[in-house]
Amino acid sequence: MVARARQLGGFDVWNRWGLFWLCSAVISTAMIIEMLGTDLSAPSGVSHMISYSVRWAVPFIYLVVAASALQTLFPGTFPRWLLRNRKYLGLSFAVAMGWQALFIYGMSTSFRDYYFEEIYYLRDELEGSTGYIFLVAMVLTSFRFGSKFLDARQWKMLHTTGIYFLWAYPFSVYWWNLNYYADPRPLDYLFYWSGFFAFALRIFAWGNRRRPEDEPPAALRLLGVGIIAAGVAVAATGLFWQDAVSTFLTAPRWSATLELWLPYWPFEPFLSLGVIGLGVWLYNLSLSR
Ligand code: HEM
């Protein structure tokens, strides 16, 4: 009976393609409603739609990032469901990003001057375009006709790197919103911290898989916990150190040049996760290996 109620016309809307169509319908309906209330004849309206569409995409990429780690750390019904439907949630992310691409296209063709004066910045352009290249390659290789050109190792490398890159984009956008620009919005906190936890879960799951059979010395474990706590503090206090650390990291001329084009360089938003990674590694370090 319950299983029946979950199905529409033989279509299970909570799993696989049913879930994909449900998510796509919700995303697209929200997009159309928002468009109807937005002045698309002004560049600011199109810019709003670019931001609005990506906000629908972000939760999906975070869920995809967290899925396998959740199943490792807290095996259960929800993590198993997430893992089973990861591909369809990823494709729903692609649908929301497709809407963003549509609005970006509209902006760059109908408001060319505004686009180049107000939006275009080489580094952002390279980051965004690389993101879209990954996205298209990942969508195509999610189907047999695309995946047959890759062996299993290449497929995994493409999808793992792509997921990290596409997670890093919004995570770093919201980190900068919190730690550089004045007046962050509640949404910035929500999307920064959920992106942080999604990736931190992966680090802990990695640590879990490395857990040694022999108990590491208590001092090492304590040090690990201390460093993990320091990482969380680094994540929460960017406003206090961002300026000094950015200035320090981009002081060499080569680093300042890299900052102009290399995506995410010099990686300030990710420092906290690096520190947590170090703590988790120490916590699970086996001295007998
Ligand atoms: C060439 C490709 C891209 C261009 C030109 C572009 C352009 C833009 C523009 C114009 C905005 C609005 C900024 C504003 O509010 O004034 C924006 C926001 C944003 N974009 Fe992109 N984008 C690109 C690709 C991507 C990709 C691949 C991602 C990855 C998920 C992404 C994530 C975001 C996020 C998270 C925001 C902030 C949304 C918010 O305000 O909450 N973008 N983008």
The pLDDT tens digits for 135-169 are 999 999 999 999 999 999 999 999 999 999 999 99
Mean pLDDT value of segment 17-45: 97
**Chain-wide mean pLDDT for the chain?**
94
- Give the whole-angstrom CA distance, residue 278 versus residue 270: 13
pLDDT value at 220 more than 70: yes
| pLDDT value of residue 1 | 46
Instruction: Look up tokens 């993990």; give the residue.
Output: 228
What predicted TM-score, i.e. pTM, was given to this entire model? 0.94
Pocket of ligand 1 (CB under 6 A): 47, 50-51, 54-55, 57-58, 104, 119, 125, 128-129, 131-132, 166, 169-170, 173, 187
Model pLDDT, residue 7: 57
Q: Residue 12's beta-bridge partner residues?
A: 7
- Cα→Cα distances 100→27, 46, 56, 205, 270, Å: 12, 10, 10, 32, 25
Structure tokens at 75: 């095996």
Report the pLDDT averaged over residues 113-128. Answer: 90
The dihedral through the CA atoms of 49, 55, 60, 66 has a sign that is: positive
**Which atom, in ligand 1's list, is nearest to the CA of 58?**
30
pLDDT at 182 (0 to 100): 78
Ligand 1 atom nearest residue 174's Cα: 35
Span from the CA of 236 to the centroid of ligand 1 (angstroms): 23
Return d(Cα 110, Cα 105) in angstroms, integer.
8
- d(C-alpha 23, C-alpha 90), whole Å: 11
Q: If you average pLDDT over residues 101-119, what whole number do you get? A: 92
Segment (H or E) for 7:
strand 7-8
Protein residue with least CA distance to atom 3, ligand 1: 128
Residue identifier of the C-alpha nearest atom 42 of ligand 1? 128
Q: What is the pLDDT of residue 118?
A: 85
Confidence band of 286 (pLDDT split at 50, 70, 90) = confident
Q: Whose CA is nearest to atom 8 of ligand 1?
A: 50
Cα of 98 vs centre of ligand 1, distance in Å, is: 12
- Of 61, 97, 100, 191, the residue with max ligand 1 atoms within 8 A of its CB, to mutate for a pocket test, comes to 100
